[in-house]
A and B are shown apart, each in its own frame.
Chain A
Amino acid sequence: MTSTTAGASGLVRALFLGSAPKAAFLPFPEPDAETRETADEIFAMVSAWAAETIDPAAIDRAAEIPVEVRDGLAELGLLGLIVPEEFGGAGMGQFAYSRLMEAVAHRCASTVTVIGGHMGLAMKPVLLFGTDEQKAHWLPQFASGERLGSFALTEAGAGSDAGGLRTSAEELPDGSWKLSGTKVMITNAGYAGVFAVFARTPDPEQPDLPLAERPISCFYVPAELPGVTVAPEEDKMGLKGSSTCEVAFDEVVVPADHLIGPRGKGFKVALNTLNTGRHGLAACCIGQAKLAAELAYKQAGERVQFGRPIAEFGLIREMLAGMTADIYAMEAGTHLAAGLMDRGETDYLLESAACKIFATERLWTLANDSLQVAGGWGFMKEFPFERIVRDARINLIFEGTNQILRTLMAGQGLKPLLQAGAPEPEERATVADFDARLAAVAGQVLEQVEALGSATAELLETKGKGLFFDQPAQARISEASVALYTALAVLSRATSQLTELDGQAAEARVEVATLAARRRLRAARASLALLVDPDSDLEGRIVERAY
């Protein structure tokens, strides 16, 4: 995971060092024709089904997803999309999964959490770490929807800091486990058939460790076991249809073979799960962003003020064009990471985090812009604008808050700089690697990549290891890396697409990609400009005094 060289992957790690290694993102890792075709067919089928079956406004009002919708997901086979065929699934990869998430999210953000919680999170421990017997036992039940999964990591004292975990599992003489603890804000809890529960287990080599210091293990706990209690649904701001509950485990006896992954390595299981889960969340944001943008464009074309459609006014155009460009950028970043995952790269922690940060934050501002275009009507519950805003808010928090992800990215990205020896040189991307029509902006992006490398090195020189405690500075270099990762993804994707386009379609693509890359460039520059924040001491003193 911490390779210091940017091989075929590790694009974001390399950006921190000031280089964009060609092999990491050029040519754009498009899925093969058959995968693309299948993903398109699934997308079309799911979109048609969702349009007919799912009423997002009714789900929001009732704060409940009808059982027909959940059953429909299972009957269409969608819950087994990424399960290998020998275990009853379709054996598709992350690209197809991203497209499925986008299709469902485009219709209903609440409904897509059922899939995300089930296939993106709860199913992952056994898929990634299970033995053959465990896979044969659990995956067919997950794929058919016979058991819906729910990922139970968070506790009252363990949100961003999984170190605060206090759920415990004690080994019984027959090898089974007695599990106790309470998990909070658990997605899918209300209809889950099995919970992926993370609990502290005794370390056989240090049996006297206090609970708080014991290693963590992952268990699959069937919901019907005695001692499992699901509390009533939480009343939430958004994603109201999704099920979110507290789940208590009171001396639940869990069979020995329900321990998933190596004993004591549950933290690794959780991190690897969240790693792909975050990427799926970015794909959901694409779906909701497209919906918000379609509504905004429609409104701007129809709403007449001062004698013309408001789409003709500059400030509305700025918002609309920003939506089009940034949705293209979200797709580029997300599909790039999916392509890397599907070709078997294992180091995509930072790319996945970058996708999540950009997509969730941009959806949040985009949904807000869409509501703004709708004016006062956007504030009314009669129209979908306000629901999209409410539904978008949680994305910045769950599956790793964006603040935590930024510090995580900086920590990982800076590591090689602290280690002895320069990383091996890589063949770097140059302006000539991109379509000639994108050369100007590509040159600026590559320059900015070098600027990030210099800024990071300089910062490390002045702050030393103190940089690891300077969250605002970390966040800014991370932010620049997110922006540049996305810009490079845009340029690579457009370069590939332009080989198949001509005439007006090509011209349009060049313009969208140019704007998308320039906007990321702007974000990267702004972050680097504030790297040494002259106000940070001031901010520290103000807060000290007030709390």
Chain B
Amino acid sequence: MNIVACIKRVPATETQPKVAADGMGLDHSALEYMLSFYDEIALEEAIRSKEAHGGEVTALTLGPTEASKELRDCLARGADKGRVSLDPACHPREPRTTPTPTAATDTARGAELVFCGRQATDRDNAAVGPMLATMLGWSCVTDVIELHIDGTSATAKRESERGIEHFRFTLPAVITCQKGLNEPRYAGLKGIMAAKKKPIEEAEPMLVESATEVVGVSLPPARPAGRIVGEGPDAVPALLEALRTEAKVL
């Protein structure tokens, strides 16, 4: 089975982003990067599916050439191949423009199963997976917390605010992965050494123009400092009053 894990290089969650001087995006020179949290889960599920059913895992990303660092990490954990669809202008893109070249790549590779993170931890659009499935005309289950594959049919559990939803569907399919689906592995030394012999290809994809345009980026306003209304049990009435009249949460 040809399996694809779509991953994204995102700013490390602990770094404080700064807005670039032109106010049109982030200052990328000041950022450190990582593999997006949910994409780690997607990659892990792709590797587990390969281990259970055979086949090959390609880690696929759309981004700058530097994203090969995150792909190398995927290869160290067990993916067989990496591919960067080069997009130097990936940052201001709207979600629709990502699945278009991705779908073309997946089709060309004869993929039957594509895993994405439920959302990327930088833009939080949660859109690429479902859009990709739409373009490919495949089954799609999002926010998956449990997955069983049996030949070309599969079942999945999806977590939503209403409860747990159970689905049955046939492959090919796009699965977006939620926390809890698995516990991503560490690469280990053997994986890191093995990754050196695995290929990463760079490709110039057919890029689609964004239909939307970024006109400004700004940080959220600084939160006002907290206020101590008093100490001990005596302060409870004042606190309740403040929560009712100022914060209006009661």
Contacts and interface: CB of A to CB of B under 8 A. Distances in A.
Nearest to A78: B189
B103 interface: no
Nearest to A89: B189
B186 interface: yes
A81 B189 contact: yes
A77 B188 CA distance: 6
A77 B189 contact: yes
Given A38-B193, A38-B196, A90-B193, A75 B188 contact: yes
B196 A90 contact: no
Contacts of B193: 38, 85, 90
B246 to A, nearest CB: 26
A111 to B, nearest CB: 15
Contact of A80 (B186, B189, B192): B189
A76 B196 contact: no
Contacts of A85: 193
Interface stretch (A41-49, A62-70, A221-229, A530-538): A41-49
B235 to A, nearest CB: 23
A389 to B, nearest CB: 27
A38 B192 contact: yes
A41 B73 contact: yes
A461 interface: no
B154 interface: no
Contacts of B187: 41, 45
B187 to A, nearest CB: 5
Contact of A49 (B72, B186, B192): B186
Contacts of B190: 77, 90
A48 B186 contact: yes
A78 B72 CA distance: 19
Contacts of B86: none
Interface in B43-84: 72-73, 76
A76 B73 contact: no
Contacts of B188: 45, 75-77
A519 to B, nearest CB: 29
Interface in A36-88: 38, 41-42, 44-45, 48-49, 75-78, 80-81, 85
A41 B186 contact: no
A94 to B, nearest CB: 16
Interface in B193-225: 193, 196
A81 B190 CA distance: 9
Nearest to B187: A45
Contacts of A42: 189, 192
B196 A45 contact: no
A34 interface: yes
Contacts of B186: 45, 48-49, 76
Nearest to A85: B193
A358 B188 CA distance: 32
B189 to A, nearest CB: 3
Contacts of A44: 73
A508 to B, nearest CB: 13
A59 to B, nearest CB: 19
A85 B186 CA distance: 20
Nearest to B190: A77
A34 B197 CA distance: 12
Interface string A144-162: 0000000000000000000
Contacts of A45: 76, 186-188, 192
A78 B189 CA distance: 6
Nearest to A49: B186
A45 B193 CA distance: 13
Contacts of A90: 189-190, 192-193
Contacts of A48: 186
Interface string A8-34: 000000000000000000000000001
Nearest to B186: A49
Contacts of B76: 41, 45
Q: Which of B72, B73, B186, B190 has the most CB of A within 10 A?
A: B186
Interface in A272-300: none
Interface in A133-191: none
A75 B193 CA distance: 15
A85 B190 CA distance: 10
B142 to A, nearest CB: 27
Nearest to A41: B192
Interface string B139-153: 000000000000000
A38 B195 CA distance: 10
Nearest to A72: B186
A75 B187 CA distance: 10
A75 B76 CA distance: 14
A78 B191 CA distance: 11
Nearest to B73: A41
Contacts of A34: 196
Contacts of B189: 42, 76-78, 80-81, 90
A376 B194 CA distance: 49
A117 B72 CA distance: 31
Contacts of A49: 186
A82 B30 CA distance: 35
Contacts of A77: 188-190
Nearest to A91: B193
Given A34-B196, A76-B188, 14 more contacts: A41-B73, A41-B76, A42-B192, A44-B73, A45-B76, A45-B187, A48-B186, A49-B186, A76-B186, A76-B189, A78-B189, A90-B189, A90-B192, A90-B193
The 10 A-B residue pairs whose C-beta atoms are closest, nearest first, are A77-B189, A76-B188, A77-B190, A77-B188, A49-B186, A90-B189, A41-B192, A45-B187, A90-B193, A45-B186
16 contacts: A34-B196, A41-B72, A41-B76, A41-B192, A44-B73, A45-B76, A45-B192, A48-B186, A77-B188, A77-B190, A80-B189, A81-B189, A90-B189, A90-B190, A90-B192, A90-B193
Interface of A: 34, 38, 41-42, 44-45, 48-49, 75-78, 80-81, 85, 90
